Amino acid sequence: MKRFETLILVAALAGMAGCNSSNVINLPASGSGSGKIAHVVVMVQENRSFDNIFAGFPGANAPMEGACAPAKWCKGSQIKLHSVTLEHGVGLNQGTDIDHSHNGWNIECDANASNVCKMDGFDLIRYGESGGGLVAKTFPYAYIDRSESKPYWDLAKQYTLADAMFFDETASSFIAHQMIISGGVQVKNGEWVTDQPQQPPWGCDSVPGDNAPILHADGTIRGSIFPCFKWATIADLLDAKHVSWLDYVDVNPNPYGDFSGGVWNGFRAIRKIFHGPDWKTNMSSPNTNIFTDIKAGKLPSVSYVIPTLYDSDHPASGCNGGPWWVTKVVNAIGTSQYWKNTAIILIWDDWGGWYDNAPPTIIDPSTVGFRVPMIVISPYAKPSNVAHTQYDFGSILQYIEQTFNLGSLGTQDASANSMQDVFNYSQTPNKFTPAPLPKAKSCKDKVTNPKAVEQLLKHDGGVPE
């Protein structure tokens, strides 16, 4: 595949640019040739593997059972997947989270002597955001109850579902939100940022000394780095070509309030953005501003849409507002003037520790991570389609670059497989039919109330990553 054929080129580019450089490598990037997409909206939900949402989906690589490591709860080397709710937990602000740290990835992957993931260690990880609880046993072998995942299934059935989208890295949300804007987290040759700082916010306004760990080529984690990076992002390319963009996110660094904007906003950890004019002009807070902009005819060319804790799908939240939020945003775009020339890319930032059957290709200790769902919603997305091409987050960056003729960052975007094959620009455009808003539990006050959020953090063993 293209991704792996161009690793030497990418390594050379990384060496020339250096991850601490703000220079953009202006590689030629082929345009889509269609001119029919003028708006790209990237919706980034939280912590679900592909099988966790789409197990059993027709035509997709999504079996209803998974391999397990030998244990008294694993009989016959296979565990049947069971149903869980999005809000599963002991109470409204105490959802059930499971390990999805770099260490958790290693346990679940369980690589053999040929460095191929056996994907049978999911029953050996522990509860808690970094594995501080009891062994989770069969719990990670789960799919979201169909009554709650139905809005996602309906979108997948109507448009294009990608069943081979791999998160690039072997850590979690902090890294994921860097990859979705920069395509890389390499500090220097053989060293990558991994996991996350210990307390919010995660970025240039982090508490001094609250650093992110460094993963080395020998697989060990040692040393750390303050989370305020100099590497280039898609914003550099967009700004250089005067292409409008906004990050719809609740910019709130309060650790005992809705901390979503303090930890899931990748731009917060980019020095040029946080300490520059883009922080004031391109961070649109609250994230519900997207509805105002759509109605006012002010939707930018490129939008990142970051959920609040309530509507994030994150297991720790104890809430199930994700399908409601996604449906509301998609309906707003679909019933507006923007539907005719928009591509909505719905992605989940990391696998959240949940079982997935598809082994990633291990390139180095930092790459590649497990599979996550991606749905592409557009008048030109191939209808009722399951795309089997292997994508990664660099594919999304590359699609934005191609659509607006931006050039390339020269990171994962340069090696990723193109997403152009999920589109058919000559087809009769898909007609949009708004979906009814699904019901969501009334728990928003539980993830914004300081005392309740403090309880959530204690229950989860840290800030949900």
For residue 2, pLDDT over 90 is answered with no
CA–CA–CA angle 396, 165, 198 (5° rounding) = 80
For residue 14, pLDDT over 90 is answered with no
Cβ-proximal residues to 101 (8 Å cutoff; 6+ apart), any chain? 129, 130, 131, 171, 172, 195, 465
Query: What pTM value is reported for the model?
Result: 0.92
Cβ-proximal residues to 436 (8 Å cutoff; 6+ apart), any chain? 327
C-alpha–C-alpha distance, residues 329 and 323, integer Å: 10
C-alpha–C-alpha distance, residues 240 and 250, integer Å: 26
Number of continuous H segments (helices) and E segments (strands) in the chain: 15, 20
Of all helices (H) and strands (E), which one includes residue 143? strand 142-144
Token pair recorded at residue 192: 């990558």
% of residues, the chain, pLDDT over 90: 78
Mean pLDDT score, 398-411: 97
pLDDT at 256: 62
For residue 225, pLDDT over 60 is answered with yes
Which of 3.30.1330.20, 3.40.720.10, 3.40.1080.10, 3.30.70.1140 would CATH assign to domain 2-63+147-186+227-452? Answer: 3.40.720.10
Mean pLDDT in the chain?
90
Q: What interhelical angle do 322-334 and 146-158 show, nearest 10? A: 30
Confidence of residue 441 (pLDDT cuts 50, 70, 90): confident
Cβ-proximal residues to 226 (8 Å cutoff; 6+ apart), any chain? 206, 208, 211, 212
- DSSP, collapsed to helix, strand or coil, labels residue 245 as strand
For residue 51, pLDDT over 80 is answered with yes
Instruction: 454-458: list long-range contacts, CB under 8 Å, 24+ apart.
Output: 454/256, 455/93, 455/94, 456/93, 456/94, 456/95, 456/316, 456/317, 456/318, 457/255, 457/256
% of residues, the chain, pLDDT over 70: 90
What's the gap between Cα 367 and its chain centre? 15
At 76-120, the pLDDT tens digits run 899 999 999 999 975 545 789 999 999 999 999 999 999 999 999
pLDDT at 93: 54
